[in-house]
Structure 1
Amino acid sequence: MYIETWDGKRVPVEINAQRIEANNRTLVLGVFRDISTRIDRENQLKEATARLNTLVDATPFPVAVLDPEGTVQLWNQAAEETFGYGAEEIVGTQYPLFVDDEQFQSLFERVLDGGTVGGCEAVHRARDGSRLDVELYARPLYEDGEITGSIGSAIDITDRKRRNQQLDVLHRLLRHNLRNKLTIIQGYASMLQSGESVDNAAREDAVEKILAATAELSDLSTHAVQSRTLSSAAGSARTDLSTLLANLRETDAAVSEATVEVPTVEAQAVVSKQAVDALSRLLTRIVEYIETPTIDLAVEIRDRYVQLDIHGETALLAGGDAELIRNGTETDLRHGSDLDVARTYLAVTGVGGDIIPLDSASGPRSLRVEIPRLEAESSD
């Protein structure tokens, strides 16, 4: 409360009062403590907090403030736009975005110990179920010398990583596939041009090889264009999960003696048609490659995404294809013969999904595919 001094000044005070019984009299002992300094400090803190909130909300990067328990205390406008969670539904909850909870605990403990995080890459799952690659920056917050939480930013670098992956695929195309086909064309054309006597059989064989290499170059060019434009088509068309499973059941028709076991799922979900086409292409590639063409699929429908686990008795993919899926890049020598797996990987990541090897072998026997669930189209 406030009291007024003899000179008319209003002073904020904190009062402690106690009743005392003495000599048959009841007295009240009151202790008044001037708290002007504390009030001033609290007002300064409120003003600083208001300025900080305004500054953070105006920052074009996603920013969150967490307390020492990892509970979100502040969530700015850029974070809402990037990850889809409104401040009203995420403030007061545990930070929910990390796909890898152990990574979050490790980084958060580092900050609470007084350290900082700068440029660390992680994967966040947005409200719509899509996986986003982010670059993390975080540092502790102090009050009176004590750490009271952390402030951090998770910058979305998904588009940048996808562009780099597309460039890797196109670089592989130029580095290996195109060079090999051009070498074939050049070799046989030089033979025909040399003027040396070439019998009809050899001439026909050379012409066939040139035409075949030319056709493959045309196909590779088409694949390259499709790989380059995958992200621009992301989410443009949609279908239901039953269509996806029906397509996967028909995959074994592509290879004789192949068996693809696809479960029946009662629940329904809407997914990207681009992802459906990509998964059909991936499964076809697997049954063509695998030594024992018996594949089992398990399907789980999560709140925000659909999870498909693909299991085989032997390695599902060649080393280079597995390397692309595991690390998002390809090696110089360990590559496949075409771009089917690369296109599949770019298509799935382009709609916010991912393909994850479930074992550490160079040729994994199990893959997990995650694709976001989409909102059903309105009938209006």
Structure 2
Amino acid sequence: MRYRLFNLVFLFLATVSIVVAQEKTQVKGPNIFIEKVEISGREVPVDSIFNTDYYHNNIKIIIGDKLPFPNTCRYRLFDPEIASSKYSIWKPLSSPIITIFDLPAGNYEFQFMDSENNTETTKIAFKLVINKPWYKTWWFWGLGFICLFSMLYGREKYIKSQEEEEKEQQKKIIGLELRTLQLQMNPHFIFNALNSIQSYVISQDTLKANSYLTKFAHLIRMFLDSSRNRYISISEEITLLELYVEMENLRFQNKFDYKISIEKTVDTMTEIPTMLLQPFVENAINHGLRYKENKGNLEVSFTDEDSYITCTVKDDGVGRKVSMKIQQASRKGYKSQGLKITEERLATYNRLNNSNIEFSVNDVFSSDESQDVGTIVIVKFPKNME
């Protein structure tokens, strides 16, 4: 009985000894003690997670003296989203001070591993979050996309509105040109021209009738041809004006003398907006020279002045004030709107083409300035006009 009890006690002690031996040889994780953490030279309280911005990304970690050196531990900064980065590679923990410079933005785990006895156990010491710079954040890119989209949309809308406005301006110009053409070929002018031709035919003055009819047909054709183009050369404009003035002079039975001159330095191939000068000449004849008792004079000149080609239309008629009184008293005949339409057309043309065609209408006074004895119109065309 005693022998059997002794054997049981011996067996129990042997079993306990084996278990204790096995507990002593079990490999545990590395016993790491973080003594101090510095972020960009500034010491921060040791915690389980650190959060810093992109511009403070230099990290210094100091290990406490509980871990002997050298040892079998290794460390790494592991970012699950960037597993292939150079910071995810295990490095030997050969010094109590670990320094890492220019750490990119990310969510890191500072990991330690002990590889003693061919057994690896990983331990997370702390987590480190380095925020992205503002220009790499999702809200910045979202806001940037919204701004870019708004700019592109606004640009497209602006271009479309400009195109629509340009179309409207073009329509307005076409309408004004059409009204100018209608004024040039007004029924009174055509009727009077045909009457003049008829009087020559009745009086059997065949040569004058034929000459007048030929000039009339040529003038009407030039009016129609010029109305199809936006520009006309100065040479063609002079030809048209000569025909028109000659026809009007015949209609008013040689009531005035006229002269159209051009300075030698003026390039006659320079193009100007079509059907622009005729309304000024028409006004000079119909509202100035027409009402003069004695024979009048009409002068049309083209001169070269610095960056402009200047056209001057001058008459020695009764002047604007007297002409207006005569028209108001008679309330008959054709009322010219040529100047008003020409002014609208020039304003629209300048705005559409970013040009600067200028014109002015002034009275010519007598030597003692007691009364106006005519009108002068000055039109300036820029030489670099497109």
Q: TM-score range by the shorter chain?
A: 0.3 to 0.5
TM-score normalised by structure 1 residue count = 0.36
Bigger radius of gyration: 2
TM-score by length of 2: 0.35
